[in-house]
Amino acid sequence: MRIGSLKFNSNLFLSPLAGYTNLPFRLVVREIGGVGLCTTDLVNARSLLEKREKAFKLIETCPADSPLAVQLFGSVPEEMRDAAQILENLGAASIDINMGCPVKKVVKIGGGSAMMTELDKTAALVRKMVDAVKIPVTAKMRLGWDDENLTAPDLARALENAGAAAIFVHGRTREQGFGGTVNLAGIRKVVEAVKNIPVIGNGDVITPQAAKKMFDETGCAGVSIGRGAFYNPWIFQHTLQFLACGELLPEPAFSERVRVMNRHLDLMIEVFGEELGCRMFRKVAPWYAKRFGPCHEFNKRVVQISTREEFLGVLENYFRWRQQFVDEHGELLPRFRPPPMVASFMRETEPASTRREQIPVPKGPMEIW
Ligand SMILES: Cc1cc2nc3c(=O)[nH]c(=O)nc-3n(C[C@H](O)[C@H](O)[C@H](O)COP(=O)(O)O)c2cc1C
pLDDT, tens digit (0-9, with 9 covering 90-100), for 199-227: 999 999 999 999 999 999 999 999 999 99
pLDDT at 119: 87
What is the average pLDDT across 319-339?
94
Say what angle helices 23-32 and 235-245 make with each other, to 10 degrees.
Answer: 30
Please list, residue by residue across 204-232, b when 16 or more beta carbons sit within 10 angstroms of its beta carbon and e when fewer do.
Answer: bbbbbbbbbbbbeebebbbbbbbbbbbbb
- Separation of 170 CA from ligand 1 center, angstroms? 9
Amino acid sitting at position 37 = L
What is the average pLDDT across 156-178?
94
CA–CA separation, 60 and 58 (whole Å): 6
CA 204 to ligand 1: nearest atom? 25
- Separation of 40 CA from ligand 1 center, angstroms? 11
Which residue owns the Cα nearest ligand 1 atom 30? 17
CA 363 to ligand 1: nearest atom? 1
CA–CA separation, 345 and 241 (whole Å): 21
- Residue (of 174, 171, 111, 162) closest to 138 by Cα position: 162
**Bridge partners for 326 per DSSP:** 332
Q: Are 133 and 46 in contact (CB under 8 A)?
A: no
Q: Please report, in angstroms and rounded to a whole number, the separation of the first and last CA atoms in the chain.
A: 28
pLDDT at 361: 67
- Candidate from 99, 184, 283, 369 with most ligand 1 atoms within 8 A of CB, to mutate: 369
Which residue owns the Cα nearest ligand 1 atom 28? 17
Which residue owns the Cα nearest ligand 1 atom 22? 203
- Separation of 101 CA from ligand 1 center, angstroms? 8
Radius of gyration over alpha carbons of the chain, in Å? 20
- Separation of 226 CA from ligand 1 center, angstroms? 6
Which residue owns the Cα nearest ligand 1 atom 23? 203
pLDDT above 90 coverage of the chain, percent: 80
Write the pLDDT tens digit of every residue in 37-86: 999 999 999 999 999 999 999 999 999 999 999 999 998 999 999 999 99
pLDDT above 70 coverage of the chain, percent: 93
- Candidate from 170, 199, 206, 220 with most ligand 1 atoms within 8 A of CB, to mutate: 170
- Separation of 20 CA from ligand 1 center, angstroms? 10
Long-range contacts of 330-339 (CB under 8 A, 24+ apart): 330/254, 332/254, 332/293, 336/293, 336/294, 337/293, 338/290, 338/291, 338/292, 338/293
| Candidate from 137-141, 179-183, 241-245 with smallest mean pLDDT | 179-183
Residues contacting residue 245 through CB under 8 Å, at least 6 positions apart: none
369, pLDDT greater than 60: no
295, pLDDT greater than 50: yes
CA 98 to ligand 1: nearest atom? 11
Write the pLDDT tens digit of every residue in 182-197: 999 999 999 999 999 9
Q: Are 61 and 37 in contact (CB under 8 A)?
A: no
- Separation of 91 CA from ligand 1 center, angstroms? 24
Query: From its phi and psi, is residue 19 left (phi > 0), alpha (psi between -120 and 50) or beta?
Result: left
Three-class DSSP category at 338: coil
**Residue 357: which pLDDT band, with cuts at 50, 70 and 90?**
very low
- Separation of 74 CA from ligand 1 center, angstroms? 17
Mean pLDDT of the residues in the chain: 92
Clarify whether 101 is annotated catalytic: yes
- Candidate from 15, 54, 72 with most ligand 1 atoms within 8 A of CB, to mutate: 15
CA–CA separation, 144 and 116 (whole Å): 6
**Residue 113: which pLDDT band, with cuts at 50, 70 and 90?**
confident
What is the average pLDDT across 113-136?
91
Element (H, E) at 272: helix 254-272
CA 168 to ligand 1: nearest atom? 19
- Candidate from 14, 17, 220 with most ligand 1 atoms within 8 A of CB, to mutate: 17
Q: Which residues line ligand 1 (CB under 6 A)?
A: 15-19, 41-42, 71, 98, 100-101, 140, 170, 202-205, 225-228, 361-362, 364, 366, 369
331, pLDDT greater than 90: yes
Residue of 101, 220, 278, 295 with catalytic role = 101
**Residue 15: which pLDDT band, with cuts at 50, 70 and 90?**
very high
pLDDT at 343: 87
354, pLDDT greater than 60: no
**Residue 353: which pLDDT band, with cuts at 50, 70 and 90?**
very low
Q: Are 71 and 40 in contact (CB under 8 A)?
A: yes
Q: What angle do CA 258, 260, 266 make, to 5 degrees?
A: 105
CA–CA separation, 203 and 167 (whole Å): 14
148, pLDDT greater than 50: yes
Which residue owns the Cα nearest ligand 1 atom 10? 16
